[in-house]
Amino acid sequence: MAIGTLPNRSIGHGRHAGHDGRGAGAGGDHPSGDTPGGAIVPPRAYVTGITVALGAVLMFFMALVSAYIVRRDMPLSGWLPLAVFPRILWLDTLLLLASSFTLSRARRLLLAGRDSGFRFWWKITAGLGIAFLAGQLIAWRELAAAGVYLATNPSSSFFFVFTATHGLHILGGIAALLWVMFRRPRRLGLATATEVAAIYWHFMDGIWLFLFSLLLFAKA
């Protein structure tokens, strides 16, 4: 994170100056009963928050991936490639890629003020996410049918760990999409909420592309 790009605020001209656009004192837009009325969090904090959180997510998956590489390349690792490579993963990848495009479209429509279009494409995105998860489950069943389980071989262990942890993150993403759709976040506003959800969703899409190519590369 480039510290030099952080906002440096100018000084107000008196003790009471410089509300800094955070709407202090307006206070009404705060649903949580025990938070002080003036404590309004600037919308950009939510964007910062999700960006920072994704730093941790990235480290989490990088730890798994480095374990994967080390474990695979060890002498006497007993590593065997997956007995079957579920072809549905290709379709899943396409679904997830498509969901990033529908999400972007939904946000563009929202910013253009076309609410019904936004709702339509937003729901499509959540649907694509659910379809992706269903596809991952089918891939798991395909492997299980071929006798490949979590403990069969390190390659299958990592396959299930990658898909399960990534799937959990997607599940969280779907929950966030539905929450934005049906609960209409009051505190951070729809524009910010959709931005936060979009950053997260695109990122998890990218993580999947990375994991998928890693698995694909190992197959060859």
Specify the residue, 41 or 88, whose C-beta has the smaller distance to other proteins: 41
Question: CA angle at residue 57 from 52 to 61, to 5 degrees?
Answer: 150
Q: Is residue 188 classed as helix, strand or coil in its secondary structure?
A: coil
Distance CA 24, CA 38 (A): 5
Residue carrying structure tokens 């995105």: 125
CB 129 within 8 A of CB 174: yes
Specify the residue, 17 or 145, whose C-beta has the smaller distance to other proteins: 17
CB 182 within 8 A of CB 27: no
147 binds other proteins (CB under 8 A): no
Specify the residue, 24 or 83, whose C-beta has the smaller distance to other proteins: 24
186 binds other proteins (CB under 8 A): yes
Specify the residue, 117 or 154, whose C-beta has the smaller distance to other proteins: 154
Number of residues in contact with other proteins, rule: CB under 8 A? 61
Interface residue with other proteins, options 2, 78, 113, 182 (CB under 8 A): 78
Cα-based distances in Å from 161 to 52, 79, 133, 143: 23, 16, 14, 14
Q: Which stretch binds other proteins (CB under 8 A): 102-110, 123-131, 148-156, 204-212?
A: 148-156
16-23 contacts, C-beta under 8 A, 24 or more apart = none
Beta-carbon contacts of 153 under 8 Å, excluding residues fewer than 6 positions away, are 78, 79, 80, 82
Which DSSP state fits 34?
T
Interface residue with other proteins, options 88, 101, 127, 165 (CB under 8 A): 165
**Cβ 97 to other proteins shortest distance, Å:** 25
The contact mask relative to other proteins for 7-46 (x = CB under 8 A, - = no) is -xxxxx-xxxxxxx---x--xxxxxxxxxxxxx-xx-xx-
Specify the residue, 8 or 116, whose C-beta has the smaller distance to other proteins: 8
Question: Could you list the residues that contact other proteins (CB under 8 A)?
Answer: 3, 6, 8-12, 14-20, 24, 27-39, 41-42, 44-45, 48-49, 52-53, 55-64, 67, 70-71, 74, 76-79, 150-151, 154, 157, 161, 165, 186
